[in-house]
Chains A and B, each alone.
Chain A
Amino acid sequence: METVIEASNLVKQFGSFRAVDTINFSVRPGEVFGFLGPNGAGKTTTMKMIQCASPRTSGSLSVFGLDPGTHSHEIKAMIGVVPQETNLDTEFSTIENLIVYSRYFGIPKEVAEERAEKLLDFVQLTEKRDVNIEKLSGGMKRRLILARALVNQPKLLILDEPTIGLDPQARHLIWEKLKLLRSLGNTIVLTTHYLEEAERLCDRLVIMNNGTILVEGSPAELVRDHVGSGIVEAEHSPEVVECLSHMGISYEVTGDIVQVVTDNPRLVAQELLRKCDAKQVLTRAATLEDVFLKLTGRGLKE
Chain B
Amino acid sequence: MIQDLFAIPRLSGNAWTVWKRNLDVFQKTWRVNLVPPFIEPFLYLIALGFGLGGFVGYIGDVPYIDFIAPAIVAVSIMNSAFFECTYGSYVRMYYGKTFDAIIATPVSIEEVIAGELLWGATRSMIYTSLMLPVLILFGVVNVPTSLLLIPFAFLGGLLFACIAMCFTAVTPSIDALNYPSFLFITPMLLFSGTFFPITVLPPALQAFAFAVLPLTHVVSICRGITLTLFTPFMLLDLAWIAIVTTVLFILAINLMKRRLVV
Find chain B residues with CB under 8 A from A14 CB.
262
Which of B14, B104, B262 gathers the greatest number of chain A CB atoms within 10 Å?
B104
Check A53–B103 contact: CB distance below 8 A: yes
Which residue of chain B has the shortest Cβ distance to A54 in the bound complex? Answer: B262
Q: What A residues does B100 contact at CB under 8 A?
A: 53, 83, 85, 87
Chain A, range 39-74, C-beta contacts under 8 Å to B: 51, 53-55, 72-73
* Interface SS of A by simple majority: loop
Other-chain contact of A100, B14, B21, B103, B108 (Cβ < 8 Å)? B21
B101:A88 contact, CB within 8 angstroms:
yes
The size of the chain B interface, using a CB distance under 8 A, is 22
Contact (Cβ within 8 A) B108 A72: yes
Q: Which of A83, A87, A101, A104 is in CB contact (< 8 Å) with B96?
A: A87
Q: Which residues of chain B are within 8 angstroms of A88 by Cβ–Cβ distance? A: 101
Q: Which residues of B are found within 8 Å of A101, using beta-carbon distances?
A: 101, 105
A146 to B37, CA, bound (A): 40
User: In the complex, what residues of A have CB within 8 A of residue B96's CB?
Assistant: 87, 89-90
Q: Please, which residues of chain B bring their CB within 8 A of the CB of A96?
A: 24
Give the size of the chain A interface in residues (CB under 8 angstroms).
26
In the complex, which of the residues B14, B17, B28, B108 contacts A91, with contact meaning CB atoms closer than 8 Å?
B28
Cβ of B106 and Cβ of A51 under 8 Å apart? no
CB < 8 Å neighbour of A55 from B21, B25, B98, B261: B261
Contacts of A85 in B (CB 8 A): 97, 100
Contacts of A55 in B (CB 8 A): 261
- Within the complex, the shortest CB–CB distance from A159 to chain B, in Å, comes to 12
Could you tell me if B17 and A104 are in contact, using CB atoms closer than 8 angstroms? Answer: yes
Closest to A88 in B: B101
Does A284 interact with chain B (Cβ within 8 Å)? no
Q: Determine how close the nearest CB of chain A comes to the CB of B104; give it in whole angstroms.
A: 4
Question: Could you tell me which residues of chain B, from 55 to 109, have a CB within 8 Å of some CB in chain A?
Answer: 96-98, 100-108
Q: Identify B98's interface contact among A54, A83, A87, A105, CB under 8 A.
A: A87
- The interface bits of chain A over 119-151 (1 if a CB of B lies within 8 angstroms of the residue's CB, else 0) are 000000000000000000000000000000000
Chain B residues with CB under 8 Å of A81's CB are 104
A108 beta carbon closer than 8 Å to chain B: no
Q: Are A73 and B106 in touch, CB under 8 angstroms? A: yes
A77 interface residue (CB < 8 Å to B): yes
Contact A53 B104 (CB under 8 A): yes
Chain B residues contacting A72 (CB-CB under 8 Å) are 108
Indicate which residue in A83, A92, A103 contacts B104 across the interface (CB closer than 8 Å): A83
Cβ contacts under 8 Å, B103 to chain A: 53
Task: Give the shortest distance, in Å, between B226 (CB) and chain A (any CB).
Answer: 35
Binding site for B on A (CB under 8 A): 14, 51, 53-55, 72-73, 76-77, 81, 83, 85, 87-92, 96, 100-101, 103-106, 152
16 of the cross-chain contacts (CB-CB < 8 Å) are A53-B104, A53-B261, A72-B108, A83-B100, A87-B98, A87-B100, A87-B101, A88-B101, A89-B21, A89-B98, A91-B28, A92-B25, A103-B20, A103-B21, A104-B14, A104-B102
Which 3 residue pairs of A and B lie closest in terms of their CB atoms, listed nearest first? Answer: A87-B97, A104-B105, A81-B104
Could you tell me which B residues sit within 8 Å of A by CB distance? 14, 17-18, 20-21, 24-25, 28, 96-98, 100-108, 261-262
